[in-house]
Amino acid sequence: MTPADLVLLPGLNNTAAVFDDVKAALPDTLRAHCPDLPALETVEELADQVLREAPARFWLGGFSFGGYVAMAVLDRAPERIQGIALICSGPAADTPAQAAKRREAIAGARQGGYLETAAASTAPFHPDSLARPELMARRRAIVRAYGAQRYIAHCLACIARPDRTGLLDGRRPTLLVTTTHDRVVAPENLQRLAAAVPGSRLETVAGAGHLLPLEQPAALAAVLARWIAHGDAS
């Protein structure tokens, strides 16, 4: 049996390495592709890059900022997407307050404060994760590899992205994944979205904050595998 192709897109402050343990936990029935997202300033440009490298048809998952890119991929090539998963993410545009906060962050990064600020932030984590030094070390390494240039570009892409909620119309399997302790993308946002999207599947993972792929990779892999198996059988 040929494995199903799954493309996973990383979030803000993350390289593809955020999915390393998720990939390792996926069953042999899935073949994961985890591209890095380069320093491009619109989600549309990033979507075009993803589509150039992706298989002809594939399941698509986007974590946080990667979900914004995933929605642009769906917009550009719906015929290639077998199903879409938004992981601690959503399809809406930034609010004015969110955009203003990002502009402040961009200004700080341009003044040289990116690495210290991003690596020191505890908001994305479940409280228990903060007591895992190996996890914190991996996070710092990923942030360092990601870098200020990419951060600035991706913040600009966040600000410029449109609302693509209407693309989640129930025409393909849709998975919405949240956690019990996400302080970045509120679980209630995903719950409301699940109620509005026909046929969507909502999964809540315990023991994780926003950084689900790092904090609970095996649980995320299991959720993705179940969803794709169910979709393939439909």
Q: Alpha carbon 201 to chain centroid distance?
A: 17
CB 12 within 8 A of CB 37: no
* DSSP 8-state class, residue 180: T
Write down the residue that tokens 């997407």 correspond to.
81
Distance set, CA 178 to CA 84, 115, 150 (Å): 14, 27, 25
d(Cα 69, Cα 74) in Å, to the nearest integer?
A: 9
pLDDT cut 90: percent of the chain above it: 93
**Closest CA relative to residue 52, chosen from 80, 71, 31:** 80
Element (H, E) at 5: strand 4-9
192-210 pLDDT tens trace: 999 999 999 999 999 999 9
70-122 pLDDT tens trace: 999 999 999 999 999 999 999 999 999 999 999 999 999 999 989 888 877 88
Per DSSP, which regions of 54-191 are E strands?
58-63, 81-87, 174-179
Quick one: 13 exposed, middle or buried, by C-beta within 10 A (0-12, 13-18, 19+)? buried
**pTM of the predicted model as reported, rounded to 2 decimal places:** 0.96
| Structural domains present in the chain | 4-95+154-233 (3.40.50.1820)
The two most distant CA atoms of the chain are separated, in Å, by 52
CB 167 within 8 A of CB 62: no
